[in-house]
Chain A
Amino acid sequence: MNLLEIKDLHASIAGKEILRGVNLSVEAGTVHAIMGPNGAGKSTLSAVLTGNPLYEVTAGEIYLRGKNLLTMPPEQRAREGVFLSFQYPVEIPGVSMVNFMRTALNEKRQYQGLQPLSSTEFLRLMRDKRKLVGLADKLQNRSVNEGFSGGEKKKNEIFQMAMLEPCLSILDETDSGLDIDALRIVAEGVNQLRTADNASIVITHYQRLLDYIVPDYVHVLADGQIVKTGGKELALELEDKGYEWLSTQ
């Protein structure tokens, strides 16, 4: 059984169809890159996988480890192990990172039938995972993403991913707004979290990120469909030739 199975997925926002029959299989232990021009539906795919209520699924199926994702509310998908690193992480004034993460992790543990972590265990885990992405200590007492720089926000996403240990992580334009040093740190964090049991979908506009997070497969999304699939060399070809040659085929 594949970790993720997307079959003939159609989705729209405000009555406008964005995804027009997406098919994708993701097996455990792999990294899939999804590339494509602006407006192809890349971010829509991540929104639909995570259950964003702004989008309507009009046809198709999504299965995670054989379970139907489309019938689950967003939080249940998250507890099943779907994680989205947001392109634009949301600022939540007044809710501290510590409190937020403790609530998040314990909700997930409860769902899995596990006891909540003690304060000591939790803080130790926070400290260990923060190191993975070099996130400053001081940020944990601040409100979620509030006043974080662009780079800190992206590191914070990967930090949360490390805390929640998802089986499927979706990185939506994680490279946007990052300088090369921050990009390398974020990518190394992602690479260290790779196991044989989890998988990642890396959504990106540019090939640059894929120098650091090397994909097993590259898919090109255009006009709401996957129009081409290849190995990592496809990303280089796209960097060289652009997307035009694909949509005119």
Chain B
Amino acid sequence: MVKHTITQGQIVEEVYLNQSNLDITFTQQEGSTLRLFVVDIQGGQYANHIVVEQAATDCTTEIYHLAYLTDNDKATTHTNVRHLVGGGTSNQLIKFILGGKAKGEFLGELYIAPDAQKTEAHQTNRNLLLSSTAEVRTRPQLEIYADDVKATHGASTGQMDESALFYMQQRCLDENTARRLLLGAFMKDVIEPISDQNKREELLETIDRIIQ
């Protein structure tokens, strides 16, 4: 396991691309910001384990995760966001795309300590199934011991929007092109918040190549 500390007031943006079996812990000091992008688009078999601890007040945590799984891929991503002290915010956007017979699992732990008042924590998990044989499990686990907090979580799993596909076909796009555009759009949500322009564009291009 790799441990990082983000010191007082520091702003850190990390992009992990295709580092299967990521096992990492961040501890945040006062007023620090962590923006974490974990992008797994090459598939395979892996388990990610991501822990973020807000050890002081006024911290901001953003976690973006994209997992693209096909064939017999099997992947688990586990996030554990721990608000030990109040006054912090966390936002998570976790997306799985699954085709073939792929299996995916998201375990989202959120802990808000008894005195961590004025914490704001949001967790969103969206999954797109490209085949009827793919499977995804989503397990949000919220442990909230403070009473003056805002915490939300939402999970949805669906297939490609047929009405959008038809709309695009009515505008001359063949079905494959339409599917590719929708797939790209679903993925890019996770990439676009990257503030480093070079990294962002490089990743967007990689995604375009993969879905061709």
Type the 1/0 row for A79-92, where 1 means its CB is closer than 8 Å to any CB of B.
Answer: 10001101001111
- A79 contacts which chain B residues (CB < 8 A)? 172
Given known pairs A100-B181, A107-B177, the reply for A90 and B164 (CB within 8 Å) is: yes
Inter-chain CA distance A152–B171, complex, in Å, is 18
Contact B172 A107 (CB under 8 A): yes
CB distance from B187 to the nearest CB of A (A): 9
Interface members, chain B 175-212 (any A CB < 8 Å): 175, 177, 181-182, 184-186, 188-189
Q: CB-CB contacts of A173-191 with B at 8 A, as 1s and 0s? A: 0000000000000000000
Q: Which stretch in A33-41, A70-78, A133-141, A225-233 binds the other chain?
A: A70-78
A100 CA / B185 CA spacing, docked (Å)? 12
Number of interface residues of B (CB under 8 A): 22
Please tell me the number of chain A residues within 8 Å of chain B, measured between CB atoms. Answer: 30
- Complex CA–CA separation, A75 to B161 (angstroms): 17
For B122-158 the 0/1 string (1 means CB < 8 A from A) is 0000000000000000000000000000000000000
User: B177: which of A52, A93, A103, A105 is its contact (CB, 8 Å)?
Assistant: A103
A73: B residues at CB distance < 8 A: 169, 174-175
- Say if the beta carbon of A44 comes within 8 Å of chain B: no
A108 contacts chain B at the CB level, 8 A cutoff: yes
With contacts A90-B167, A92-B167 taken as known, whether A75 is within 8 angstroms of B173 at the C-beta atoms is yes
Contact of B173 among A86, A103, A160 (CB under 8 A): A103
Q: Are A92 and B164 in contact (CB under 8 A)?
A: yes
- Main SS at interface, chain B: helix
Q: Residues of B contacting A99 with CB < 8 Å?
A: 181
Structural contact, B170 and A94, CB atoms closer than 8 A:
no
Chain A residue contacts of B171, Cβ below 8 A: 78, 100, 104, 160, 164
Q: Is A53 engaged at the interface, CB distance under 8 Å to the other chain?
A: yes
Q: Are the C-beta atoms of B170 and A93 separated by less than 8 Å?
A: no
A binding-site residues for B, Cβ under 8 Å: 50-53, 73-75, 78-79, 83-84, 86, 89-95, 99-100, 103-105, 107-108, 111, 143, 160, 164
Inter-chain contacts of B174 with A (CB < 8 A): 73, 75, 107
Tell me how far the C-beta of A120 lies from the nearest C-beta in chain B, rounded to whole angstroms: 21
